[in-house]
Structure 1
């Protein structure tokens, strides 16, 4: 059965199979756990591709995050759903973002956390909420499956979906890893909160360090961070700033950055590139004073 289906998918020219966990037969019929269910189809797709001498169909494993697929699914498929279904509301976006923040590390070139389809252009999402949704999904390297009716899409919806600078991070051919939180912001770090997930994120790209600042509040907010809070930033250097939504180069920053008046449920997406040594005489001698040592061997933070 599996091999016959796989051959049909190959003959029909499909390039992706989303294989859902719905309608599972009785245990006495299938006699498999979650891994075994998907292993059958994975083997069938691989065998059909080998026999036909063609690339394997992309295998999207859809089992809603049961049994922690980010730990095992990369051996079988190319992406794996990590949560229950999304819906076009801000609460759903923050819920899924919160959950995925704790296993964002699992996305790389060998497979991707699938945070479900994009709801940009659907429901009651505001323009800023839709931007935040698209930014988070793209920079976390989730598959970008458009879930709205394009013929009736507004210009704002198309503007979001066609942001080439954001998409370029998602499709980076050199760096496959996701952005991850470096500070939760509203909550203490590592706090599970489906309404107020992590706010400060960073990650690598082939062209610099990516930052995502997410305002989960219902009012505008200034958002400030020290550059070296990100593990991908070097100390003692200044960085040029590229805004991935305004598509502007915004000078350079030294040590700290503040995004002013980020809209409610809004986002700031930045690409920072090393622009050389920071100016001589910049004080204090360390941007983060903990265990910063004077020449005489004493700490400046005590």
Structure 2
């Protein structure tokens, strides 16, 4: 990460990025978390094919995103166009994009709002119009736009410039615009006026502490997210081996309930069946993709996670599937299992403790657990584990599903 100069945000918000994209959080796959800079067109092609082979495309994972290291450090001396790395991607980006599109998927690419990308390739600062034209001509559907080597120019100015370039180049081909300025410079104030998603924290790493930190930072401004623009705590680490199976479950459930982008970052050619079962959970995907798009918030034990040893509950209302309250209860304790009682009235689900609610288990195909009056007791949540529930409440137990 490179140091930048934080300048006062002296701007007037312009109109939102009205491209009719990101009405639900994006789902897909990205090269970075697993491969870093060690990428080539074969890596992208084989993982794109695996989205179909594993049936992940049918679940909504549609974007195939090439991250840093696809281009050279210098631009063409005559045209100033960015140069695709001829050794890593000999067929070029248009051919790779066509390959992805031929499989019913969408193609994404990466650049930086700086003179160079974070890995020292040619950035887009000063060349936004040219790069946007290339992206459109290649059929790019998603742009992840990073923040390295930014010359100290305020983020809002740099990200607005690319927004305008994408709009100008569009010609009926719109591009999902992912702002990656690491949550700096009050991005929550202008992110949803500029892009379809905005990073709320620095890069995620393949560890429980990193997952925990990025999730907590992502919870600071839930009110600014919704259809068309999403808080982004960074990509998923499920399948990369740094998390236990329990931690992978919790990582995925938390990202799902807070309506974060679900962008995979593992090698799909070698993913384990246990990790595949997590990212294939239809009920949690439905929760994430709800059309209402309200980010779940903390509703129990709401304090800093830094030294937390408690069970916290994150929940919110969802519109689809008849309407329901979705929640994830997480045990942050490192050693001890913990119980938690879900009080329907305190969550605003009922008006009195006499009313009944129907509870469903999102980790078990949405199975109906039972009908409960006033409260639902979870007797045991293991360390770092979670319980994910759908709750529907009515006046009489007999009228419940």
After TM superposition, the score normalised by the length of structure 2 is: 0.63
- Report the 3-state secondary structure (helix = DSSP H, G, I; strand = E; otherwise coil) of the residue aligned with 1:47: helix
**Is 1:43 equivalent to 2:164 in the alignment?**
yes
* Structure 1 partner of 2:129: 3
Bigger relative contact order, structure 1 or 2 (CA pairs below 8 A, ≥6 apart): 2
Q: How many pairs align?
A: 264
Structure 2: gaps of 5 or more residues: 1-126
Which 10-residue stretch deviates more, 80-89 or 270-279? 270-279
Structure 1: which 5+ residue stretches go unaligned? 280-302
1:129 is matched with which residue?
Answer: 247
Conserved? CA contact 2:257–2:327, under 8 Å: no
In 2, the alpha carbon distance for the partners of 1:113 and 1:89 equals 21
Residue 258 of structure 1, CA deviation: 1.3
Contact 1:226 1:255 (8 Å CA) reproduced? yes
Quote the Cα distance in structure 1 between the aligned partners of 2:163 and 2:177. 7
| Change in CA separation of 1:47 and 1:141 when aligned onto 2, cut-off 3 Å | same
The alignment yields a C-alpha RMSD, in angstroms, of: 1.7
1:177 corresponds in structure 2 to 294
Kept after mapping to 2: 8 A contact 1:195/1:216: no
2:234 pairs with one of 106, 109, 116? 116
What is the SS of the residue equivalent to 2:264? Answer: coil
Q: Secondary structure at the match of 1:88?
A: coil
C-alpha separation in 2, matches of 1:109 and 1:141: 10
* Cα deviation, residue 148, structure 1: 0.7
Distance 1:91 1:60, change over 3 A: same
- The secondary structure found in structure 2 opposite 1:109 is coil
> Which residue does 1:293 correspond to in 2?
none
Aligned to 1:201: 314
Partners in 1 of 2:172 and 2:270 — Cα distance?
40
- What is the TM-score normalised by the length of structure 1? 0.83
2:305 and 2:333 mapped to 1: Cα distance?
13
Rounded to whole Å, the distance in 1 between the matches of 2:238 and 2:390 is 23
- 1:83-232 aligned within 5 A: 83-173=201-291, 175-184=292-301, 189=302, 191-196=303-308, 199-206=312-319, 207-218=323-334, 219-231=336-348
Alignment partners' CA distance in 1, 2:346 and 2:218? 20
- Secondary structure of the corresponding residue to residue 327 of structure 2: strand
**Which sits farther off after the overlay, 150-159 or 218-227?**
218-227
1:251 maps to what in 2? 370
How far the C-alpha of 1:192 sits from its partner, in A, is 2.3
Q: What is the CA distance between 1:228 and its match in structure 2?
A: 2.3
